[in-house]
Amino acid sequence: MALDQLSSRGSALDDPTDPSQAYQPFISMDDLMDKLKALNYDDEFIKALKMRPFSRYYFAIQTNPGEQFFLFTSLAAWLVRKLGRPFEQPQEYDDPNSTIATVLDATRDLGITVDFAPNKLKQGYGRHAIYILNCLADRAMEHVHFVWKKPKPPVELEVEEQPIDDEAELLLEKIEEEMAAEDSEEDEDNLLHIDDLQNITNINKSLLEAQKQEEILESNTNSEEWRLEIERV
């Protein structure tokens, strides 16, 4: 965000007709965290000064005013030092009014417009505190010559299929032929030849004829019936 835009926003922070005021602290805080990450605040501020890490929207809403005020002034002092200017690390027992005056003096010395009452910063959170931190972060990024770059999508490399050499291709064909020959032999073993079918048919016919002859030779008439039949004739 350009510095002139931030400066113009400084005079519009208390505009009651702007419907975006309710959401602006969260948007501005989101921008601020990206800038702090770019300025390596994790190592140079959090770890070096043994500060407690805070959430992405820490200064957007009230959680602990005393703690938030101390972190706000400490972060502002660190950003001023990033610009190569002296600023003693604030202490928790320092006079809040004196600390705020020091922060605003350093801010105005950098040409940043501040047209709101100093007591707006005493609570340590809200759009006024975020505005000051955003302006200082912008100046610090200019000082270290940081430039935002457009993200570049990763280039997908096309994998070319390696051609199969002649020897490997011949070996593959030989294996396929052997497998096909084995399958053919198994199929032939499982097939019934026409001669086998004819033999089975002949055997079945012989069995049927023998069964018929047995039925003809076998009689169900007893001897008494035969005798009566002969006498009748």
| Residue 224: strand, helix, or coil | helix
Task: Tell me the pTM.
Answer: 0.59
- Tell me the HSE value of 104 on the side-chain side, using a 13 A CA sphere: 19
More confident site: 194 or 146: 146
- For residue 40, pLDDT over 50 is answered with yes
Inside any domain, residue 176: no
Per-residue pLDDT, averaged over 150-176, amounts to 70
Inside any domain, residue 204: no
- For residue 130, pLDDT over 90 is answered with yes
Least confident of 1-5, 27-31, 113-117, 162-166: 1-5
Find, among 30, 49, 26, 8, the residue nearest to 137 by Cα.
Answer: 30
Inside any domain, residue 179: no
Q: Give the pLDDT confidence score for residue 10 in this predicted structure.
A: 45
Least confident of 94-103, 155-164, 174-183: 155-164
Residue 130 structural domain: 21-144
Q: Please tell me the distance from the alpha carbon of residue 41 to that of residue 43, in angstroms, as a whole number.
A: 5
Per-residue pLDDT, averaged over 130-153, amounts to 88
- For residue 148, pLDDT over 70 is answered with yes
Q: Give the pLDDT confidence score for residue 149 in this predicted structure.
A: 78
Inside any domain, residue 60: yes
Inside any domain, residue 36: yes
Helix, strand, coil share (%) of the chain residues, nearest 5: 65, 0, 35
Specify the number of domains making up the chain: 1
Q: Give the pLDDT confidence score for residue 11 in this predicted structure.
A: 44
**83 backbone dihedrals φ, ψ, rounded to 5°:** -85, 5
Q: How far is CA 107 from CA 57, 98, 151, in A?
A: 22, 14, 32
- For residue 226, pLDDT over 70 is answered with no
Per the CB < 8 A criterion, the answer to whether 69 and 46 are in contact is no
Inside any domain, residue 219: no
Q: Give the pLDDT confidence score for residue 112 in this predicted structure.
A: 92
Q: Please tell me the distance from the alpha carbon of residue 57 to that of residue 130, in angstroms, as a whole number.
A: 10
Q: Which residues, at least 6 apart from 128, have a Cβ–Cβ distance to it below 8 Å? A: 13, 116, 120, 121
Least confident of 5-9, 50-54, 144-148, 188-192: 5-9
Inside any domain, residue 105: yes
- For residue 127, pLDDT over 80 is answered with yes
213, amino acid identity: Q
Q: Residue 25: how many CB atoms within 10 A of its CB? A: 21
Q: Give the pLDDT confidence score for residue 92 in this predicted structure.
A: 86
Given pLDDT bands bounded at 50, 70 and 90, which one contains residue 129? Answer: very high
Inside any domain, residue 93: yes
